[in-house]
Structure 1
Amino acid sequence: MSEKQNASDTVTVLPPSPYGICFDLKTDRFQLEEATRSGSFDMKYRHYHSTYEIYYLLEGNRYHFIDRNIFFVQPGSLVFIAKNRIHKTSPAEQHFHRRFLIEIEETVMEQWFTEMAGGRLCSLFTDEMSIITLTATQQVFLNAKLDAIKQEAFQKREAFEEMIEYLLREILLFSFRIKSEGNAAHISAKNLIGSETEKIRTVNRVAGYLADHYQESSSLDELASRFFTNKFYLTRIFKQVTGFTIREYLHIQRVQKAQEFLRSSLLPITEIALMVGFENVSYFEKIFRRYCMQSPREYRVSQKAESH
């Protein structure tokens, strides 16, 4: 990598603001962003991606929905999200929150997996419980590293991008050591979702059912009846807790399954659409393009090109 800033790289360091983005750095290897939000904030459609993500909550409480499980995330929590995992956050006890987001490109992160911690660094992202809640002392250490990253981005001294990568690698090793030594504040699925309310249990069950039966065409009435609840209540709590509508979550499940078939088979696109639950191929292509930014045919061609 060049020691000078690439033309495609952008750095934004803004003065503290009550709401919005206060730090943003984009390169061709990673993206960093610190933001403060109030109210309902929704990133449209981009609910899974090929980058590896580290989400650090600084203030406020959030529900974090990953694949089919909901976690109650509190300040000082680090959430590690592997590539292509469905995820989204939504307000919990309060709408205000401040977080630091790290996204690392797939090729970079997978290179680091082989170079660091004897090949075991990937366990941060692949273990079922990919959440670490830091102690107060650990938070002080991590906050200092993030401040150093922001300072490097602001000053733009010689080799500042390489220095930021060094700090990111240090954060990953710091997190891996905490997790492997069991030195994080005790966490479990139960306390991560607060008091394990009936609302959370219902949404967890519904999300699991939809993930397992993505190809079926159950009406909202049938779904509500299966889980002994009112359809209006079900749609409200599912959106509130996961950040997705039921239809949106089902579409994402189907698109991900379609991607698997497009990568691994030569089946016609019309047949794949039917296999994943779409009765109309035109509608399938519309939804696929919404989440993948390309048609099923374009996706298949691009995946074959990458594999050669």
Structure 2
Amino acid sequence: MKKVIFTGKCDGIGISHVARDCDLAETIGFYKNEYQIYYILDGERFFYSNNKSYRMSKGTLSFIDKKKIPFTNVIGGKYHERILIEIEETWLISAGTVMELDLTGFFSNLHGVLQMNSKHQEIIEKKLRKMEEVLKAEKPYASAEVKELLFSIIIMILNGAGTRPEEYRTTGGKMMRYVKVKEIIYYIMEHYSEIYGLEDLAGIFYLDKSYLSRIFKEVTNFTVNEFINIQKIDRARNLLIDDSLSIEDISKKLGYERLSYFDRVFKKYVGMSPLQYRKSRKTP
């Protein structure tokens, strides 16, 4: 059973507050491949990264670096209540410039789980609930207030709040699935333009399609096709900066047989067409 307590967003930031009494692969949020902050209000989850696992329990604050999302997994636990903050990379970089902070470096360095003491838990929970309250009420300057609260949490961490928990010894079955999916992820990232979907990967790794689909979704929270498209679209963003390549050339280079399909997929993940994106990246 799942209870969505709150979802809301402002420019560059999405917040969702969810309680679950089972582990579901589907996510409740606004972005799939952006910087993330998890706070556990109750129950437990497990944070897998670099073949290690850490228990996320009440009062843990976890930071997920966008660049490490493909190799990181947050699953498990029969019950949990959490607040998830998702932050768009473009906003994070511009906000860091204004605040004179390397925020992408912050997420890279802090990637993982931090246990808060009771004093810091109380402060952080008040700030997170205030974010929800401000967005729910649609208060004037809500976006500015939410971002000020977010920065105040980040400053707390920069000033030394939180300690790293010890590695958690998880069951062999889950770790084996995690290791296998990590192997598949590396393959996709190297060969995304040559792969057309689940059936290709099942043949390459000698796995049943249904089993591969299930464990990939469980470990990554993405379907195989979603993950392949994310790799292609991330590459497309870089290629679109080069005016010497036509959009049709880029589409073919990434393995899309039809330009119309590339256009549709790009718009789904970026929010604008490839042509609009190219124009937006040109310096005035």
Alignment TM-score, normalising by the size of structure 1: 0.70
1:20 matched to 2:40? The reply is no
Structure 2 equivalent of residue 235 of structure 1: 213
Say if 1:45 and 1:110 are closer, same or farther in 2 by CA, change over 3 A. closer
1:115 shift after superposition: 6.1
State how far apart, in whole Å, the 2-side matches of 1:91 and 1:136 are. Answer: 23
| Percent of residue pairs identical | 28
Of residues 91, 96, 105, the one that matches 1:123 is: 105
Aligned Cα root-mean-square deviation (Å): 4.0
- Which residue is 2:260 aligned to? 282
Q: Is the 1:56–1:79 Cα contact (8 Å) retained in structure 2?
A: yes
Asked if the contact 1:64–1:242 (Cα under 8 Å) also holds between the matched residues in 2, the reply is no
SS in 2 for 1:101: strand
Matched residues in 1 for 2:185 and 2:242: separation?
26
| Cα offset, 1:244, TM superposition | 1.6
Once residues 140 and 114 of structure 2 are traced to their aligned partners in structure 1, the CA distance between those partners, rounded to angstroms, is 34
- 2:128 corresponds to which residue? 146
**Cα drift, residue 219 of structure 1:** 6.3
Give the deviation of 1:262 after TM superposition: 0.7
Normalised by the size of structure 2, how large is the TM-score? 0.74
Tell me the alpha carbon deviations over residues 168-193 of structure 1, each in whole angstroms, 9 at most, x when there is no partner.
Answer: 222101122337xxx513355xx497
Q: Which residue of 2 aligns with 1:56?
A: 39
Post-superposition offset of 1:158: 9.6
Structure 1 stretch displaced more, 251-260 or 148-157: 148-157
More helix by share: 2
Question: Letter of the aligned partner of 1:77 in structure 2?
Answer: T
- Work out whether residues 15 and 132 of structure 2, in 8 Å CA contact, stay in contact via their aligned partners in 1: no
Q: 1:169 aligns with which of 140, 144, 151?
A: 151
> In structure 2, how many angstroms separate the alpha carbons of the residues matched to 1:159 and 1:287?
34
**1:10-89 matches, cutoff 5 A:** 19-22=3-6, 26-28=9-11, 30-37=13-20, 40=24, 41-43=26-28, 46-48=31-33, 52-62=35-45, 74-75=56-57, 76-81=59-64
* Compared CA separation, residues 69 and 79, structure 1 to 2 (3 A): farther
Given that 2:47 and 2:112 are in contact with CA atoms closer than 8 Å, whether structure 1 keeps it comes out as: no
- Mapped to 2, the partners of 1:219 and 1:111 lie a distance apart of 35
Counterpart of 2:272 in 1: which secondary structure? Answer: coil
CA positional deviation for 1:71: 6.4
Unaligned runs of 5+ residues in structure 1 are 1-17
Cross-structure match for 2:76: 92
The code of the aligned residue for 1:93 comes to: G
Shift of residue 30 of structure 1?
4.6
Provide structure 2 residue ranges, at least 5 long, that are not aligned to the other structure.
none
SS in 2 for 1:200: helix
Q: How far is the alpha carbon of 1:105 from its aligned partner? A: 6.1
Is the Cα contact below 8 Å between 1:145 and 1:167 reproduced in 2? yes
SS at match of 1:252: helix
Shift of 1:204: 0.8
Which residue of structure 2 lines up, in the alignment, with residue 205 of structure 1?
A: 183
Give the Cα–Cα distance (whole angstroms) in 1 for the partners of residues 141 and 197 of structure 2. 56
Find the aligned partners of 2:29 and 2:244 in 1 and give their Cα distance: 31
Mark the CA change 1:174 to 1:258 in structure 2 (over 3 Å): closer, same or farther: same
Distance of 2:157 and 2:227 partners within structure 1: 30
> Paired residues, what number?
277
